[in-house]
């Protein structure tokens, strides 16, 4: 007689329903930090009464003149006094909203976070704050025009939007760059298209191909033309330029450094209202160029260079220069990695710095910020407004 056989009971099939799903919790799988936000927090905050009509800033740019060395009993000096120039500060209002259902609120109130991996309201609040910080970080380098990039081809009616010219600067943000044009947008965001200063339409992003700087749209645009300006368009106003960020972005670093007219006053009117030094010759960033930057800031603004922001490629190249010239007294104590240093200067870099640029300034006198409202933070259910016809609440940051 043959031996009886049997099959062991397995937990993954025979009695699988006795087992529960196990989730380890939400793991942050990407870097969401925005160093630029932290830099702005450390800048000097200027106090001003906020007016919806106009906030002006008077600029002392001109020397006084006519000091005479006169003989005894001679004629006195010609009277003269310089006037102040006028700049106009324009603020921006960033608005972020999200919704949550009444059911989620009721569960949270009765059972706390037991049914959740993380508190839903805190999670949505955190992600909302991250999105605001990311927008500020991206606008930190751009122009008040709000231009993100240009359309790179005349595709006509198409759902494929190929882009180039990060922040509208020719050649910046290409497919071999560290910071590419498409890095400024995310799937499901809305974008405004503008041809030669005329609003075209608002489109939605479906997917992004970073390798080719291509944005696939949720539906075909009516007419994509080479050179079209592209801006964010997250407002529910969906049919005109008022629904886009055109003219409502920060006066970013590139704007400050390269635009003739900043805050409504032009360097064509007074050439002292300009960057202390601009060098587009290319080549390696060396100690001599750093020294010239220090001298230019002191000569033109009377300040002291204390902040340098450079792209990661330039940081790596400067390190390579310094490493090539190192001499070690102890061959067993050589440092593999280090940081370039200059007395009184802080060197900083992030993934957002446009390729090929070095920016420097006196943070105590050359740049500042103004903020009317406190920084956005975690929301409570009491902060939400009840939706009119839907079972939920809406929150705004």
pLDDT of residue 21: 84
Average pLDDT over residues 352-377: 90
pLDDT at 334: 62
Statement: residue 109 has pLDDT above 70: yes
CA distance 174 to 153: 14
- The pLDDT value recorded for residue 62 is 95
Burial status of residue 186 (CB atoms within 10 A of its CB: 0-12, 13-18, 19 or more): exposed
**For 180-208, what is each residue's pLDDT tens digit?**
999 999 999 999 999 988 999 999 999 99
The position carrying tokens 């970080």 is: 137
Q: Are 150 and 165 in contact (CB under 8 A)?
A: yes
Give yes or no for residue 74 having a pLDDT over 70: yes
Q: How far is CA 89 from the centre of its chain?
A: 19
Question: Which structure tokens are listed for 329?
Answer: 């007294």
Strands in 358-361's sheet, in edge-to-edge order, are 346-348, 307-310, 358-361
pLDDT in tens, 93-104: 999 999 999 999
- Domain ranges in the chain? 149-248
3-class DSSP assignment, residue 55? strand
Q: For residue 265, what pLDDT band results from cuts at 50, 70 and 90? A: very high
The answer to whether the predicted template modeling score (pTM) of the entire model surpasses 0.85 is yes
- Tell me which of 43-57, 76-90, 150-164, 306-320 is least confident: 43-57
Complete DSSP assignment for 211-236 = GGTEEEEEEEEEEE-TT-EEEE--SS
The pLDDT confidence band at residue 225, using thresholds 50, 70 and 90, is very high
Q: What is the pLDDT of residue 362?
A: 94
pLDDT at 320: 87
- Given pLDDT bands bounded at 50, 70 and 90, which one contains residue 311? very high
Is 80 exceeded by the pLDDT of residue 241?
yes
pLDDT at 159: 97
pLDDT 10s digits, 115-133: 999 999 999 999 999 999 9
Q: What is the pLDDT of residue 328?
A: 62
Give the CB-side neighbour count of residue 169, counting CA atoms within 13 A: 19
Q: Calculate the CA dihedral of residues 187, 254, 313, 38 and round it to 10 degrees.
A: -70
Q: Stretch 211-235: mean pLDDT, rounded?
A: 97
Q: How do residues 28-60 score in pLDDT, each as one tens digit? A: 777 788 999 999 988 888 888 999 999 999 999
For residue 21 the two structure tokens come to 């799903």
- Within 168-286, residue ranges assigned H as helices are 253-258
**Any idea which of 180-194, 291-305, 329-343 has the lowest mean pLDDT?**
329-343
Report whether pLDDT(335) > 80: no
């Amino acid at each position: 007689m043959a031996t009886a056989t049997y099959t062991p009971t397995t937990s993954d099939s025979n009695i699988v329903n006795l087992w529960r799903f196990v989730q380890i919790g939400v793991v942050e799988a990407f870097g969401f930090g925005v160093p630029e936000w932290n830099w702005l927090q450390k800048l000097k905050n200027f106090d001003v009464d906020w007016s919806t009509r106009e906030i002006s800033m008077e600029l002392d740019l001109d020397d006084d003149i006519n000091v005479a060395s006169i003989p005894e009993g001679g004629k006195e000096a010609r009277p003269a006094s310089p006037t102040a120039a006028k700049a106009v500060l324009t603020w921006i209002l960033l608005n972020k909203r999200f919704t949550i259902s009444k059911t989620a609120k009721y569960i949270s109130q009765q059972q706390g976070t037991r049914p959740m991996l993380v508190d839903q309201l805190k999670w949505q609040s955190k992600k909302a704050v991250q999105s605001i910080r990311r927008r500020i970080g991206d606008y930190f380098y751009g122009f008040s025009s709000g231009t993100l990039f240009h359309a790179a081809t005349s595709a006509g009616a198409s759902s494929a939007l190929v882009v180039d010219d990060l922040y509208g600067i020719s050649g910046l943000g290409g497919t071999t760059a560290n910071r590419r044009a498409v890095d400024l947008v995310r799937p499901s965001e809305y974008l405004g298209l503008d041809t030669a200063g005329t609003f075209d339409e608002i489109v939605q992003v479906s997917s992004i191909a970073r390798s080719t700087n291509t944005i696939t749209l949720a539906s075909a645009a009516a007419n994509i033309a080479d050179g079209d300006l592209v801006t964010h368009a997250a407002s529910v106003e969906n049919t005109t330029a008022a629904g886009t960020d055109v003219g409502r972005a920060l006066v970013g670093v590139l704007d400050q450094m390269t635009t003739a007219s900043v805050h409504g006053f032009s360097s064509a009117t007074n050439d002292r209202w300009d960057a202390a030094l601009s060098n587009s010759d290319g080549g390696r960033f060396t100690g001599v160029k750093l020294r010239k930057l220090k001298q230019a800031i002191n000569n033109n603004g009377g300040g002291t260079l204390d902040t340098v922001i450079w792209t990661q490629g330039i940081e790596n190249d400067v390190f390579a220069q310094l490493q090539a010239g190192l001499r070690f007294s102890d061959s067993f104590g050589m440092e593999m990695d280090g940081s370039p240093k200059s007395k009184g200067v802080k060197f900083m870099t992030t993934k957002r710095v446009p390729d090929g640029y070095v920016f420097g300034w006196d943070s105590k006198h050359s740049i500042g910020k103004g903020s009317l409202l406190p920084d956005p933070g975690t929301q409570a259910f009491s902060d939400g407004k009840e939706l009119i016809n839907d079972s939920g609440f809406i929150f705004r940051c």
